[in-house]
């Protein structure tokens, strides 16, 4: 994890265009659509709806503007944003019983672009199986891989890596788009020794670590080059892409920052369904109400969205009642059953010096790298962390399957992610980092899978190509008992910050769930949830790409509805 504060820089941007800081600057408070939360998904929706010049859209974002926040722009420096800072909600978890009762910080961005403004920028879509399972669970073929691919393409703009190297053989262009909005690119800086050894390992251990030309094809298994939401050596967030100046110039798109939505207001009953007239929000010490004449869209993220719902009386009435909140819609699934990927890292030290430590442990080199990025958006600051990712399945004969049915979505879906970094970046350790995380929530299953993930990483570094370089693991986790290993894991695991599932979609007639497959809230009209809250099961991937695709498709559904 990135943690050490280095420098936090900001400059005042000359022009905020239609991104307003003060509610008094807005021409009015009545819009066709209100989007609560200007994050990853919310800005996609606002951008797509305002393609229709007849739709007036207001985005209300609780956090600050992203403009001029260098630590967000420079891929390498994102660690400086983590809190407590003004860019963060500063959340911590409740004590986690599976993790020795530890209380963990849980990053959520409090800025335009949401978590896409401070995330790790890994671009991974998940497996075709993941999306086909969403289609099965919801009864909506629109969520299936074949149909959602179009929306991945609407979002994605494959861009040159920062160093403009030849990317042939590093990805499969036929499963990508160059016409979308958010930039996606291959690693933009060369680490020759590390790259050679990682790729050579796929030849020496091809059964366990086969090379996969493109892990974003719907079939992720194997080891491939990492793809990142980076363009021109700079972070591409939903704020820098969907709110680029060509879009903020639209007369019908207004974005207000420092505006925190507290609840939906003015409920009425129309043909047996609840319709809300608008939202209440605060700016500073003042309260305001904004009216929506067509729809309200909640895009406040997996934590923020159920928070607004429950304050509005939408949730489990047995929870709302004791809090003194009158129930408007009794939807017991609100806020329950969230999922994330447990994560821990293991580190090996090596005897070559071409690692991130050559930068992080050398002030001169660090300053040179900063100056290089500042001048041309190139160099080691143009990327962050892992350069390759391996997506792996457990051995089908594993004993764990005696007690657990396979939670993965299908045979082409990984249980384990290993991500390989040429160093540990901004953490105080030496050697090539090796980051592990897995994809399911079920404590015994997780422990088993994390142990297997570590063993897999240990085998990786036993490949012949590493033997002239590996000095050893920084911690001996190789010849210890299962109990000792479990104890280590329970102390080491942190969240991946891939939280999903707090307001899930389910079939139209299902008793549980919060939204129907077109993301309208059950029992309400003109009220949708469009963000990572709606995934009924976590994708076997980092979650931003899937969130972008969901938002792109949902925006299309809204446009069709109001055509």
Ligand X SMILES: *[C@@H]1O[C@H](CO)[C@@H](O)[C@H](O)[C@H]1NC(C)=O
Ligand Y SMILES: Cc1cc2nc3c(=O)[nH]c(=O)nc-3n(C[C@H](O)[C@H](O)[C@H](O)COP(=O)(O)OP(=O)(O)OC[C@H]3O[C@@H](n4cnc5c(N)ncnc54)[C@H](O)[C@@H]3O)c2cc1C
Q: What is the smallest separation between the CB atom of 411 and ligand X, expressed in angstroms?
A: 12
215 sits near ligand Y (criterion: CB under 6 A): no
The CA distance from 167 to 72, in Å, is 26
Question: 536 vs 3, 144, 309, 418, CA distance in Å?
Answer: 31, 14, 17, 24
86 binds, options ligand Y, ligand X, none, Cβ within 5 to 8 A by partner type: ligand X
300 binds, options ligand Y, ligand X, none, Cβ within 5 to 8 A by partner type: ligand Y
CA dihedral 121, 122, 127, 128 (to 10 degrees): 40
115 sits near ligand Y (criterion: CB under 6 A): yes
Which range, of 13-21, 239-247, 301-309, 463-471, touches ligand X by CB under 6 A? 463-471
86 sits near ligand X (criterion: CB under 6 A): yes
376 sits near ligand X (criterion: CB under 6 A): no
Q: How many residues bind ligand Y (CB under 6 A)?
A: 40
Nearest Cα to Cα of residue 494 among 547, 413, 548, 427 = 427
Instruction: Report helix, strand or coil for 246.
Output: helix
**Catalytic amino acids?**
498, 542
Determine contact, residues 11/70, Cβ cutoff 8 Å: yes
What interhelical angle do 544-561 and 40-49 show, nearest 10?
A: 30
Q: Is 278 annotated as a binding residue?
A: no
* Ranges within 395-414 binding ligand X (CB under 6 A): 395-397, 399-400, 402-403
Q: Is 120 annotated as a binding residue?
A: yes
Which range, of 300-308, 424-432, 444-452, 470-478, touches ligand Y by CB under 6 A? 300-308
62 sits near ligand Y (criterion: CB under 6 A): yes
The per-residue b/e assignment along 373-403, b for 16 or more CB within 10 angstroms, e otherwise, is: beeebbbbbbbbbbbbbbbbbbeeeeebeee
Which range, of 58-66, 264-272, 352-360, 465-473, touches ligand Y by CB under 6 A? 58-66
Q: Which of 542, 552, 553, 554 binds ligand Y (CB under 6 A)?
A: 542
The CA distance from 51 to 59, in Å, is 15
Q: What is the smallest separation between the CB atom of 548 and ligand Y, expressed in angstroms?
A: 8
Q: 201 phi and psi, to 5 degrees?
A: -60, -35
Q: Which of 34, 38, 215, 315 binds ligand Y (CB under 6 A)?
A: 38
Q: Which two tokens stand for residue 222?
A: 């194997």
Q: What is the smallest separation between the CB atom of 63 and ligand Y, expressed in angstroms?
A: 4
Using the minimum distance from each CB to ligand X, give the nearer residue, 62 or 298.
62
Q: Is 121 annotated as a binding residue?
A: yes
236 sits near ligand Y (criterion: CB under 6 A): no
The CA distance from 7 to 71, in Å, is 8
Which residues are CB-neighbours of 129 under 8 A, at least 6 positions away? Answer: 145, 408, 409, 410, 411, 412, 413, 540
Pairing of strands 19-20, 253-256: parallel
Interface residue list for ligand X (CB under 6 A): 83-86, 88-90, 110, 351, 362, 364-365, 368, 370-371, 374, 395-397, 399-400, 402-403, 468-469, 471, 473, 476, 478-479
Interface residue list for ligand Y (CB under 6 A): 36-42, 60-63, 107-110, 114-116, 118-122, 260-261, 299-302, 304, 308, 497-498, 531-532, 542-545, 547
């Amino acid at each position: 994890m990135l943690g050490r504060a280095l420098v936090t820089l900001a400059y005042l941007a000359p022009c905020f265009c239609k991104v307003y800081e003060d509610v008094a600057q807005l021409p009015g408070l009545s819009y066709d659509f209100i989007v609560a939360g200007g994050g990853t998904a919310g800005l996609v929706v606002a951008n797509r709806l305002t393609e229709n010049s007849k739709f007036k859209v207001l985005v209300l974002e609780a956090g600050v503007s992203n403009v001029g926040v260098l630590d967000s722009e420079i891929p390498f420096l994102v660690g400086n944003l983590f809190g407590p800072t003004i860019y963060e909600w500063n959340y911590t978890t409740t004590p986690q019983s599976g993790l020795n009762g530890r209380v963990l910080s849980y990053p959520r961005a409090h800025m335009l672009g949401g978590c896409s403004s401070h995330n790790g920028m890994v671009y991974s879509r998940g497996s075709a199986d993941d999306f086909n399972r969403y289609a099965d669970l919801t009864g909506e073929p629109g969520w299936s891989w074949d149909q959602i691919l179009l929306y991945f393409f609407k979002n994605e703009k494959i861009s040159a890596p920062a160093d403009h190297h030849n990317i042939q053989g590093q990805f499969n262009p036929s499963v990508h788009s160059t016409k979308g909005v958010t930039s996606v690119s291959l690693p933009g800086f060369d680490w020759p020794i590390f790259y050679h050894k990682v790729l050579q390992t796929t030849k020496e251990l091809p059964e366990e670590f086969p090379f996969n030309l493109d892990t974003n094809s719907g079939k992720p298994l194997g080891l491939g080059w990492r793809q990142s939401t980076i363009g021109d050596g700079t972070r591409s967030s939903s704020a820098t892409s969907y709110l680029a100046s060509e879009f903020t110039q639209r007369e019908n798109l207004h974005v207000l920052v420092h505006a925190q939505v507290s609840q939906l207001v003015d409920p009425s009953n129309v043909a047996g369904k609840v319709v809300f007239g608008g939202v209440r929000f605060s700016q500073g010490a003042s309260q305001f109400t904004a009216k929506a004449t067509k729809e309200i869209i909640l895009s406040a993220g997996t934590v923020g969205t159920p928070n607004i719902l429950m304050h509005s009386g939408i949730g489990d009435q047995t929870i709302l009642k004791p809090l003194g909140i009158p129930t408007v819609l009794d939807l017991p699934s609100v806020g329950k059953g969230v999922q994330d990927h447990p994560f821990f890292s293991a580190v090996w030290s090596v005897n070559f010096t071409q690692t991130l430590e050559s930068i992080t442990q050398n002030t001169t080199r660090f300053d040179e790298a900063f100056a290089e990025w500042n001048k041309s958006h190139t160099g080691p600051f143009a990327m962050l962390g892992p350069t390759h990712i391996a997506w792996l399945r457990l051995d089908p004969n594993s004993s764990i399957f005696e007690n657990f049915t396979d939670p993965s979505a299908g045979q082409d879906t990984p249980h384990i992610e290993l991500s390989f970094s040429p160093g540990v970046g901004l953490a105080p350790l030496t050697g090539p980092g090796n980051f592990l995380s897995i994809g399911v929530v079920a404590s015994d299953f997780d422990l088993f899978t994390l142990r297997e993930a570590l063993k897999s990483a240990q085998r990786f570094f036993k490949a012949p190509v590493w033997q002239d370089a590996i000095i050893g693991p920084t911690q001996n986790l190789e010849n210890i008992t299962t109990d000792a290993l479990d104890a280590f894991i329970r102390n080491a695991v942190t969240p991946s910050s891939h939280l999903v599932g707090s307001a899930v979609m389910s079939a139209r007639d299902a008793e549980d769930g919060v939204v129907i497959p077109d993301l309208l809230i059950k029992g309400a009209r003109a009220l949708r949830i469009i963000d990572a809250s709606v995934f009924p099961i976590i994708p076997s991937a980092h979650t931003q790409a899937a969130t972008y695709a969901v938002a792109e498709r949902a925006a299309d559904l809204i446009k069709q509805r109001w055509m």
